[in-house]
Amino acid sequence: MRVNILNVLFDNLTNADALDLLLEFLEQGGNHILYTPNPEMVMAANSDAELMTVLNSADLIVPDGIGIVWASRIIGRRLKERVAGCDLILALFGAIKDTGKTVYLLGGKPGIAELATKNMIIKYQGLNIIGCHDGYFSEEDEPKILDDITRLKPDILLVGLGMGRQEKWIYRNRTLPVRLMVGVGGSLDVMSGSVKRAPKIFRQMGLEWFYRLISQPSRALRMLKLPAFMIKVIINSLRNQQ
C-alpha cells in the first residue's frame, strides 16, 4: 500500500524490504525504475505536473528524507522508516557483488563517475561496473551515451543529473535495455569521496539535513523548503479532517 504525501505516492517498506524488491527486479524481465524523493523534490513536483507524473510512474518510490517520514505521521499514515537512496544502493552493491550483475554510472562533474567506479570496486570486491560517464553532456553528446548504454546492456543504471532532471531523463529513456534505473542525486559524489556523508549518529537521529546545513551553509536557502513542506503537509491534513 502506498502512502500519499502531497500527491507523491511512497511505498511503505523497510530498508530490507526495498532491497529484496530491487533484487527481485534484477531477476525479472523488463525495465524497472526507482526514485528516492525527499521533501524538496515533493515540493518541486507540486509545482511541476510533469515531474509529478514521472515520479508516480516509478515501480518503487522510497522516502529519502526524514521529513517524508515525519509527514506520514502527521497525516496518520506512518511510513515504516526512512529509506535513504545512497544507503539502499550501497546495500544493493553488497548484495550483487560476485553475481555477475553489471552497473553503469551516469552523472556528476567530470571525473566523479570514474572516481566513484574506482572506489566502489575496491570497497565491494567483485562488483562489476562496466561503464561510466559524467553528467555534463550536451544534447549532441547524448546519443553517444545512449548508444554506449544500449551496447553494454547493464543490469543497473545509476543516474545522477540533479533533482528533477535525472527523473525526467530516466522516464524519457525508460526503454533502454536496463533492468533497474535509479535516480541517485548526489550519491555519486559520496561514492567518489568528494562529498562526505553525515556521521552515523546524525543519520540515525534523522538529523542528516542539520549536518548538511552546518557543514554547507550555502544550502541554507534550500533547507528552507523543509519547513515550507511541513507547513503544507499540516495545512493539507487539517483540510482533509474538515
The residues, ordered by sequence, that sit 6+ positions from 44 with a Cβ below 8 Å of its Cβ are: 51, 163, 164
Give the per-residue pLDDT at 239: 84
Nearest residue to 159 (alpha-carbon basis) of 65, 50, 33: 33
Q: According to DSSP H, which parts of 28-61 are helical?
A: 39-45, 49-56
* Cell 533502454 found at: 176
* Cell 510512474 found at: 57
At 4, give phi and psi (nearest 5°).
Answer: -85, 110
| Contact (Cβ atoms closer than 8 angstroms) between residue 8 and residue 52 | yes
Rounded distance, CA 240 to CA 242, Å? 5
Q: DSSP character for 104?
A: E
Determine the average pLDDT of the residues in 41-56.
97
pTM: 0.91
Residue 204 has pLDDT above 70, yes or no: no
Determine the average pLDDT of the residues in 13-40.
96
Query: Minimum mean pLDDT among 16-30, 182-196, 223-237: which range?
Result: 223-237
The grid coordinates of residue 56 equal 508516480
